Amino acid sequence: RLPVPKLEDTITRYLNAQKPLLNDDQFRKTEELAHAFEKGIGRELHEQLVAQDNQNKHTSYITGPWFDMYLKAREPVVLNFNAFMSFNPDPKPEYNDQLIRATNMTVSAIRFMKTFRAGYLEPEVFHLNPEKSDTEIFKKIIRFVPSSISWFGAYMVNAYPLDMSQYFRLFNSTRLPKLNKDELYTDEKAKHLLVLRNGNFYVFDVIDRDGNMLKPSEIQANLKYILSDNSPAPAFPLGYLSSENRDTWALLRKNLLENGNAEALQKVDSAMFCLSLDDFPIKDFVHVSHTMLHGDAANRWYDKSFNLIITKDGTAGINFEHSWGDGVAVLRFQNEVFKDSTKTPAISPQSQPASVDSSRAVQKLDFKLNDALKAGITEAKQKFDATVESLSLNLIQFQEGGKELLKQKKVSPDAVAQLAFQMAFLRQYDQTVATYESCSTAAFKHGRTETIRPASVHTKKCSEAFVKELSKHSTEELQKLIVECSNYHGRLTKEAAMGQGFDRHLFSLRYLALSKGLPLPDFYQDQAYARLNHNIISTSTLVSPAVQLGGFGPVVADGFGLGYQVHDDWIGCNVSSYPTRNGKEFLQCIHKSLEDIFNVLKGKKIGS
């Protein structure tokens, strides 16, 4: 189970995170508030949280508050919450044809779903010592151990089973807009797929009456039919509604239902997933990011648990709604779909589509729109276009080294990437700001995420040495500063992964106070608390053979959304920003910081 940290540990960790962001006077005030909270109302709330947690052993203390946080948020899900991961191309070029890849990935997705629902999906396990535990013999033995104690057997060999409770929401699921708080809806009985092309909505069954998957050649025939349909794009594309403010969308949805669209919406909401087929090829990586992060809202349904997006040239990606689950569940799905569709593809470029009557199998959904709905769609489109217009996406690939060299030098690759971000922001804006790094707590029952706070007194000191006082430090001193940052970041990462961060704990105590109708404690009214939770640099990382790149929008208007990957011999960064920040310059500063850090680790003297 996810542990509730000790309150004194949480306060200490919180103050450590505040220190680099505040001057001495500000820090003294925040420290006083924190200690008063720890001795007073904070202690009472903590004891209530622990008691509540002990009564709810079937779940974790963060589950309820975290779902609420997402589902009560009223901002549009696109750009604010939904993230994307794009697939690497199929290694066999002729398989990157749009129809072939769409068919193969759809078949692989259904195979994954059927395997999961039948209870045969291999458990997700984190192997600290794969030589011992990621072996056939260990799997054979553990199969015979009763599940109530099998996790203990895994722990003995340093293998940690991860929580998979989110997986069922991958399929047949949608976030429904409701006033004040949305709902998650799942209908596992539905057998159809939703396909969007050119703003038109199509559905067809991919599972037959006996629960078997349709033949791949039939799925191919139906997709081919949709790709060759030359119906004009709708004048008022419904997709834009899913990009609206949630309350606005909730009222428009009510109107849709009352206007005779209940059956069509039911098809959308219950569909296995949404396959979005775009009619253009991809120009470059920035174009990939724009297409997968937001694309054209006419051809997306952002409320679906995920949209599988495939462009004209077979570039594929996933855009996923975030309330139901985290990156780890989507990544597992993505890895399996990539592996299955490239290693054992269902159809080949030589395959012929089945001779079925797709005009009967495929249903094009028709929506009845009154003037209020048309006006709502027009307004949603204007807002969406304006927001997208103001969004910048930029990326770099740092080619001068990666994980291998950093491990050789005995420093943490993730710590070095995060140090480079701190250094870059200091170089560009001359300040240290609230920074967020997401860390999965799936090692625990119903775990979600915890925050790593990468901005520390160590990164601040090291960044200032590199950016402002280079001439005062020898290469050895700079190396030592990097190692200090690496050690501290390693400790923070370990704490977060073990449920020993401070963010979720403080979040839950605040949630508890508000849910009991108590006045908000002074601790939470501190400007420094608000500033720490205004995450100007929001970061997330993953590396996988299936994923080309990943990204998300800034979480605050004056922030950066930074997706990054540390590969064996290169580092990729993908940054999003709005006009108040310059993402291109930020990336140049990151590149310079990485260059300096790598040179220092190699023992080279660097110039300013």
Q: What is the rounded CA–CA span in Å between residue 9 and residue 31?
A: 14
Reading the block at residue 546, the tokens are 């299936």
Closest CA to 80 of 362, 307, 302, 406: 302
Alpha-carbon torsion 138, 144, 147, 149, what sign?
A: negative
Reading the block at residue 325, the tokens are 């689950």
Query: SS3 string of 141-169?
Result: HHHCCCHHHHHHHHHHCCEEECCCCCHHH
- Asked if residue 490 lies in contact with residue 456, where contact means CB atoms within 8 angstroms, the answer is no
> What's the alpha-carbon Rg for the chain, to the nearest Å?
25
- Asked if residue 123 lies in contact with residue 161, where contact means CB atoms within 8 angstroms, the answer is yes
Name the strand (E) or helix (H) holding 36. Answer: helix 24-39
Burial label for 84, CB within 10 Å (0-12, 13-18, 19+), is buried
Integer angstrom CA distances of residue 26 from 9, 22, 531:
21, 6, 12
Q: What is the rounded CA–CA span in Å between residue 305 and residue 83?
A: 11
DSSP, collapsed to helix, strand or coil, labels residue 552 as strand
DSSP conformational letter for 485? H
Closest CA to 492 of 13, 7, 12: 13
Beta strand 435-440 with 537-541: parallel, antiparallel or unpaired? parallel
- The whole-angstrom distance between residue 148's C-alpha and the CA centroid of its chain comes to 31
Integer angstrom CA distances of residue 452 from 437, 495, 535:
5, 9, 12
Please pick, among 46, 322, 505, 591, the residue that the annotation labels catalytic.
322
Query: SS3 string of 346-395?
Result: CCCCCCCCCCCCHHHHCEECCCCCCHHHHHHHHHHHHHHHHHHHHCEEEE
Residue 489 a catalytic site member: no
Reading the block at residue 212, the tokens are 């078997």
* Catalytic residue set: 322
